[in-house]
Chain A
Amino acid sequence: MKTQTSKGAGWRRGVAVVAVLALAAACGGGQDASEDDVVDTSGNGEENGGDQAGDEDPAAGDPVDLTVSVWTTDEAQLALLDEIADDYLEQTPEVASIRFDSSPFDTYHNALTVQLAGGNPPDLGWMGNADVAPLIESGAITEVGDALREDPEYDFDDIIDSTFDSWRRGDEIYGYQFSNSPDGIFYDAEAFEAAGVDTPMEQWEAGEWTWEALAESARQVVDADAARYGLVLTGFDYSVWQTLRVVYLPYGAQSWTDNGEECGWDSPEMIDAMTLFHDMIFTDGTYPGPGESADFAAGDVAMMSAKASAAGQLEGVDFAWDVVPLPTGPAGDVASYGGAGMTVFSAGDNTEAATDFLKFWTNPDNTRKMAQYFPPPRESVLQPDVLADSNPLLSAEQLQRMVVDAVPRIANDPQIPPLNQAQLTETVGPLLDELWQPDADVTTTLEGVCEGIEPLLGDA
């Protein structure tokens, strides 16, 4: 006969067993690594014996479903993506569906890396050109160059070669940079007229549009009370230091050398560039200080550094404006830019189908459709009249000088040491914060940046 004692003991034993099993699951779940094993959690570890990427041939087996990760939340852009996907599905019965997963840009890369780490990646995804290097080095994204080159109708030679710089390793290509957005200077024409100062357009046409000229123009406009500030760099806000490239790249400065072994922050070129910028903030007062807000569209600022898409914010403003390329520097005419590409993830289940869709999405016809939102890398499409059709706020002439002529000159900091790229980026920011004080010594601060990042560069 079962006693109360044995019933209670049995219950407690049962609870204890459940608890132990749960703890055992916690300790033993997923991939276990011995002390000497390196576990590849990206799911593409051929070398490490991890799960191999699915590589199904869409011609065999059931139709596949593709997922594409994007960071746009614009309804019109998403509708266009769906339209292109529908066209592809009509002619590709091997693919059953294509789903676009949209995330806000701020959290996109974090969410994507967590997906990759969790072994649940999308088939394709957008990547910023500055973020792709570690994924290439770790094998997380698939080489697509062969697939793009083999089809004569794809017209691979139509693509501007420099747009592959961030996506290329030797002859291998790991993505297609569908958006190439050079930075330009938007300016309030009426503020310059009121101040009696030559406009940036006049200076550019005269071949005198340099960073020193910009700083001087800003001083004159502010001194004449024609604007509260002379310049604002869109997206900088004293936190996104990469935005400063619009200033230091024309000076011939780089954050680090091409081989990634030496710091570039204490170079004479960088010191000159940052000294000019620091003086604009704290000596001339022509750039908003830390914590101060200024809006070009509201007429607070005479000039704004931004990409062509920023024209959308200027619809309905009550002043005349125009746009010119970035000023030149001692290193000449360098176009700073932001690039976005489409990649195929190796850990996805359908890499071949995904590559095929990427090829379709980036063909000349679809590139032309996408050009209304994203400056394309194809020469045949990167024409001012084509871009102007889809950019009602910018004329063909404006697009010619700001985008078409600039894309072939785009430059960036070298893409190196992928394994600590994120750490480099996050280390520079706090060190550079010391520069944003009125009494900061530019040279000393920049030397401090180099002291902080040199141990990381040594890991390259």
Chain B
Amino acid sequence: MLTRSPSARPRTRWRTLSHWRRDALSGYVFILPQMIGFLLFVLIPLVYVCWYSLHDWNLMTGQREFVGAANYTAMAGSARFRTVAGNTAVFAFGVLPLNIVGGLGLAVLVDQRLPGMHIFRSLFFLPVVMSLVAWSIIWRFLLQADGGINSLLLLTGLEGPNWLRQPSWAMASVVVVQVLKMVGFSMVLFLAALQGVPGELKEAARIDGARPWTSFRYVTLPLISPTVLMVMLLVTIWSLKAFAQIYLLTSGGPGISTAVIGYEIFSQAFQIFEVGYASAVAVVLLVVAMSLTALQWALRRRWVFHEQ
């Protein structure tokens, strides 16, 4: 009869533990390069930015002095920052609904089995793969007072405004340019979600007498709500980070009517050379983005179908 040493583990459990730990370690090794990159290029710079935000640091003079929360206090009392924050909100919440409605609408349109539909899908997605810089420069020329858009309008007898130079039109123009750039991406995501909706559910609704809009609202929309949540999160974060298109289209003008937080960080750091203050603005942007993301994530239980 075999006897078992008191110190020996059960054979099956030992193998499982050993195998599991080997798998875990293998996983850590595989993600280690990415984590090192994340540490070096994201986390460490993030910590530095938070540290610099507590300093008054002028790049031109080279003087750096610890001032605690003075940058944040100055920001809170700054009329310019309030304007910039307001512009950011207008930009982000202008882009968001247009992107979702536009992307979903395009997805519904191209979700049809018609010859040549793939061409339209490619055309709508084409702006997404274009360079943002090239896209913005082209639109800057199109939106000039004597540019392509106004020339076309003149053919119809209409006189277009100075799209990028009039405060009342500049932000709207920038929003539209941003939406046109990214709506194809939303379309692709929504298209995949639409094609994942079981056909029998829509068929059952049709048999029960549901109209197309009723079927879409009560059958399709709930089933694609996880995708809607994802698009909302992505578009919100992208909008909050906007810089290149603002820089190239309007440079934050006229005045500061299109200056958003991303552009303000650049302006403070590399035009006014106040790196400490720019870092503080960057920290505020991070907090806002994380807060909005957390809020949207928390609200998912109320309206994302699968979470219920």
Contact in complex: B65, A290 (CB < 8 Å): no
Point out the residue from B59, B61, B66, B147 that lies within 8 Å of A137, measured CB to CB.
Answer: B61
Q: Which 9 A-B pairs have the closest CB atoms?
A: A42-B62, A291-B145, A138-B61, A290-B165, A26-B44, A433-B255, A433-B254, A26-B47, A39-B64
Does A114 belong to the interface (CB within 8 Å)? yes
Contact in complex: A419, B58 (CB < 8 Å): yes
Contact in complex: B17, A116 (CB < 8 Å): no
Closest-by-CB residue of B relative to A22 is B39
Separation of A39 and B272 alpha carbons in the complex (Å):
19
Residue from A113, A114, A135, A434 with most neighbouring chain B CB atoms (10 Å):
A113
Does B166 belong to the interface (CB within 8 Å)? yes
Separation of A11 and B189 alpha carbons in the complex (Å):
40
Contact in complex: A239, B251 (CB < 8 Å): yes
Point out the residue from A35, A38, A239, A291 that lies within 8 Å of B64, measured CB to CB.
Answer: A38
Do A138 and B51 contact each other (CB < 8 Å), given the known contacts A290-B165, A426-B272, A430-B256?
A: no
Separation of A434 and B60 alpha carbons in the complex (Å):
29
Residue from B55, B58, B147, B166 with most neighbouring chain A CB atoms (10 Å):
B58
Interchain residue pairs with CB less than 8 A apart (5): A290-B254, A292-B145, A418-B61, A430-B259, A433-B254
Point out the residue from A34, A44, A239 that lies within 8 Å of B62, measured CB to CB.
Answer: A44
Smallest Cβ distance from A119 to chain B, in angstroms? 9
Smallest Cβ distance from A276 to chain B, in angstroms? 21
Does A15 belong to the interface (CB within 8 Å)? yes
Interface residues of A in 129-188 (CB under 8 A from B): 134-135, 137-138, 140
Interface stretch, picked from B18-26, B123-131, B287-295, B298-306, is B18-26
Contact in complex: B62, A422 (CB < 8 Å): no
Point out the residue from A110, A138, A434 that lies within 8 Å of B63, measured CB to CB.
Answer: A138
Map CB proximity to A onto B65-90 as digits: 1 under 8 Å, 0 otherwise: 11010000000000000000000000
Point out the residue from A8, A33, A38, A430 that lies within 8 Å of B25, measured CB to CB.
Answer: A8
Closest-by-CB residue of B relative to A116 is B62
Closest-by-CB residue of B relative to A347 is B62
Q: Which residues of B contact A (CB under 8 A)?
A: 17-18, 21, 24-25, 28, 39-40, 43-44, 47-48, 51, 55, 57-66, 68, 143-147, 162-166, 251-256, 259, 267, 270-275
Smallest Cβ distance from A362 to chain B, in angstroms? 25
Point out the residue from B39, B59, B62, B163 that lies within 8 Å of A19, measured CB to CB.
Answer: B39
Contact in complex: A238, B165 (CB < 8 Å): yes
Separation of A418 and B165 alpha carbons in the complex (Å):
31
Do A117 and B59 contact each other (CB < 8 Å), given the known contacts A23-B44, A38-B65, A426-B272?
A: yes
Contact in complex: B59, A114 (CB < 8 Å): yes
Separation of A451 and B252 alpha carbons in the complex (Å):
20
Closest-by-CB residue of A relative to B22 is A4
Separation of A22 and B48 alpha carbons in the complex (Å):
12
Contact in complex: A117, B145 (CB < 8 Å): no
Separation of A135 and B62 alpha carbons in the complex (Å):
9
Map CB proximity to B onto A5-27 as digits: 1 under 8 Å, 0 otherwise: 00110010001000100110111
Separation of A48 and B286 alpha carbons in the complex (Å):
34
Q: Using Cβ atoms and an 8 Å threshold, which residues of chain B touch A134?
A: 60-61
Separation of A76 and B237 alpha carbons in the complex (Å):
47
Contact in complex: B59, A113 (CB < 8 Å): yes
Closest-by-CB residue of B relative to A437 is B166
Smallest Cβ distance from B83 to chain A, in angstroms? 10
Separation of A431 and B64 alpha carbons in the complex (Å):
29
Smallest Cβ distance from B80 to chain A, in angstroms? 9
Contact in complex: A292, B144 (CB < 8 Å): yes
Closest-by-CB residue of A relative to B166 is A437
Contact in complex: A426, B28 (CB < 8 Å): no
Contact in complex: B48, A26 (CB < 8 Å): yes
Does A43 belong to the interface (CB within 8 Å)? yes
Do A436 and B165 contact each other (CB < 8 Å), given the known contacts A114-B59, A239-B253, A419-B61?
A: yes
Does A313 belong to the interface (CB within 8 Å)? no
Q: Using Cβ atoms and an 8 Å threshold, which residues of chain A touch B60?
A: 113, 116, 134-135, 138, 418, 421-422
Q: Using Cβ atoms and an 8 Å threshold, which residues of chain B touch A422?
A: 60, 271-273
Contact in complex: A33, B59 (CB < 8 Å): no
Contact in complex: B144, A291 (CB < 8 Å): yes
Contact in complex: B64, A15 (CB < 8 Å): no
Closest-by-CB residue of A relative to B68 is A35
Does A91 belong to the interface (CB within 8 Å)? no
Smallest Cβ distance from B31 to chain A, in angstroms? 11
Q: Using Cβ atoms and an 8 Å threshold, which residues of chain B touch A430?
A: 252-256, 259
Point out the residue from A27, A42, A117, A238 that lies within 8 Å of B51, measured CB to CB.
Answer: A27
Q: Using Cβ atoms and an 8 Å threshold, which residues of chain B touch A190?
A: none
Do A434 and B255 contact each other (CB < 8 Å), given the known contacts A11-B25, A38-B63, A289-B145?
A: yes
New A-B contacts (17) at CB < 8 Å, excluding given A138-B61, A291-B163: A7-B21, A8-B25, A22-B39, A23-B43, A26-B44, A27-B47, A41-B57, A113-B59, A116-B62, A138-B63, A238-B165, A239-B251, A291-B165, A429-B253, A431-B255, A434-B254, A436-B165
Do A291 and B164 contact each other (CB < 8 Å), given the known contacts A42-B61, A419-B58?
A: yes
Contact in complex: B28, A15 (CB < 8 Å): yes
Contact in complex: A8, B272 (CB < 8 Å): no
Contact in complex: B21, A293 (CB < 8 Å): no
Q: Using Cβ atoms and an 8 Å threshold, which residues of chain B touch A113?
A: 59-60, 273
Map CB proximity to B onto A417-446 as digits: 1 under 8 Å, 0 otherwise: 011011100100111011011000000000
Q: Using Cβ atoms and an 8 Å threshold, which residues of chain A touch B143?
A: 291
Smallest Cβ distance from B263 to chain A, in angstroms? 12
Q: Using Cβ atoms and an 8 Å threshold, which residues of chain B touch A279?
A: none
Contact in complex: B62, A117 (CB < 8 Å): yes
Q: Using Cβ atoms and an 8 Å threshold, which residues of chain B touch A292?
A: 144-146
Interface residues of A in 96-118 (CB under 8 A from B): 110, 113-114, 116-117
Contact in complex: A426, B61 (CB < 8 Å): no
Does A322 belong to the interface (CB within 8 Å)? no
